[in-house]
Amino acid sequence: MSTSLSRRSSGQHPRLHAPAPPDVVALTHLRWDFVFQRPQHLLTRCARLHRVFVIEEPVLCEGTPRFDVSIRQHGIQVVVPRLPRDLSSADAARLQSSLLEQFFRDHDISDYLLWYYTPMAMEFTRELTPRGVVYDCMDELSAFAGAPAAMRAREQELLARADVVFTGGQALFESKRHSHPNVHAFPSSVDVDHFGSARAIQAEPEDQAGIPHPRLGFFGVVDERMDLDLLFQVSALRPDWHLVIIGPVVKIDPAVLPQAANIHYLGPKPYAELPSYLAGWDVALLPFARNDATRYISPTKTPEYLAAGKPVVSTSIRDVIRPYGVQGLAHIADDPGDFVAAVAAALAEDAVERLRQVDAFLTQTSWDGTWTRMYRQVSEALGARDHAILSAALPSASPDVA
């Protein structure tokens, strides 16, 4: 390989004579700057040791086809393909494949792992020859509104090629466990220090400061997974409670959102600002619908709410029921009347006892620990030769590493 080791690691690492770790090329259906979630948490940790390239889905536009590249934390290179409009799917895949090959040449990417978040990327990457293939399946994308008809077929193709498969939750693991010989459940974790700061924040964001209490809050993407009727019914049953909804509205018409004097849509907020909003809530909500799109979800926000010190009320999402509902860390209800009763119970909780249980639970989970365990699985999947390379770069074990 023509690239020197110094390109990949500085003198602070003790691997001066070890082979350079492979580059990591992630292929994602999510915009890097949309919301900060699982891919960002994992890949920013990956970038401490590897060059990381994040290939987003194309943007259709006028002009010359190209890859636009920008730099993010830890030197991550975010790549946005710009493709002409009106291309057939086959022509778009061929063009993207050609652009990607040129990009690899320009950036000296010859020893690399492919890290997939979307099976649809198989359409323009199947001719590549990576050292290994990782499929981090964070959602059942085929069940989402507007999913491509070819999604299931592309996933089968990806599963046949992957060296290791991760799932973003237990329900999804149970769905995928027989589809590949090397599947592992890695539920999303939490940045405890970041969200825990909400427990001490007193200053109110300007757009939330005037909303009366009690405040019931939600942050996240507002789409077909949210139970909009439940929100409306709760607001009608308890007009003295105020619902604060933070996040972008996607794949649904904003006109269908329930409107009431006690429902407040504050729009998307940067990840860094979320604790300041959480600090002013009395209860945190997970008002998900029960449909195909939510059957396998494992909401990252559940431990984030808990780390912020807030009681949690959720509909009956499997990965919220287990472990959070079973361990008494979240109230579970679906019917509007039952949901209102669950919120009332959450408002009446003994906060000291709840935080004691929450903090004991959170000692068992961290993004550092999740990344370390996933990294070890990748190392083992790539075999003995690569094991020596990757193991030398493993971060120190955190307390929750088995």
**Cα–Cα distance, 257 to 299 (Å, whole number):** 21
| pLDDT tens digits for range 293-338 | 898 888 989 999 999 999 999 999 999 999 999 999 999 999 999 9
If one compares 13 and 324, the residue with the highest pLDDT of the two is 324
Give yes or no on whether 5-189+366-391 and 192-362 have one common fold: yes
The full length of the chain comes to 402
Dihedral (Cα; 393, 119, 174, 35), 10-degree rounding: 70
> Is 95 in contact with 123 (CB distance < 8 Å)?
no
Contacts of residue 74, defined as CB under 8 A and 6 or more positions apart, other chains included, come to 44, 47, 48, 52
| pLDDT tens digits for range 248-302 | 999 899 999 999 999 999 999 999 999 999 999 999 999 999 998 898 888 989 9
| pLDDT tens digits for range 112-144 | 999 999 999 999 999 999 999 999 998 887 777
E-state strands within 65-187: 66-71, 77-84, 112-116, 132-137, 164-167, 183-185
> Is 163 in contact with 136 (CB distance < 8 Å)?
no
Q: How confident is the model at residue 341 (pLDDT cuts 50, 70, 90)?
A: very high
pLDDT over 50 (residue 373): yes
Predicted local confidence at residue 19, as pLDDT: 67
> Is 364 in contact with 370 (CB distance < 8 Å)?
no
How close are the terminal C-alpha atoms of the chain, in Å? 35
CATH fold of the domain at 192-362: Rossmann fold (3.40.50)
> Is 168 in contact with 136 (CB distance < 8 Å)?
yes
What's the CATH number for 5-189+366-391? 3.40.50.2000
Q: What is the pTM of this model?
A: 0.82
| pLDDT tens digits for range 80-93 | 999 998 888 899 99
Contacts of residue 273, defined as CB under 8 A and 6 or more positions apart, other chains included, come to 205
**Cα–Cα distance, 42 to 188 (Å, whole number):** 10
**Cα–Cα distance, 224 to 58 (Å, whole number):** 23
Q: For the chain, what are the domain ranges? A: 5-189+366-391, 192-362
Residue 38: half-sphere exposure toward Cβ, Cα within 13 Å: 26
Nearest to 314 by CA among 341, 342, 282: 342
E-state strands within 299-376: 312-314, 331-332
Q: Is the dihedral of CA 152, 157, 160, 166 positive or negative?
A: negative
Predicted local confidence at residue 2, as pLDDT: 29
Q: How confident is the model at residue 386 (pLDDT cuts 50, 70, 90)?
A: low
E-state strands within 197-326: 215-219, 242-246, 263-267, 283-286, 312-314
Question: What tokens appear for 27 in the block?
Answer: 């292929």
Question: What tokens appear for 21 in the block?
Answer: 């770790």
Contacts of residue 201, defined as CB under 8 A and 6 or more positions apart, other chains included, come to 275, 276, 279
Question: What tokens appear for 147 in the block?
Answer: 């999913």
Specify which residues 286 forms β-bridges with: 314
pLDDT over 60 (residue 3): no
Average pLDDT over residues 198-211: 96
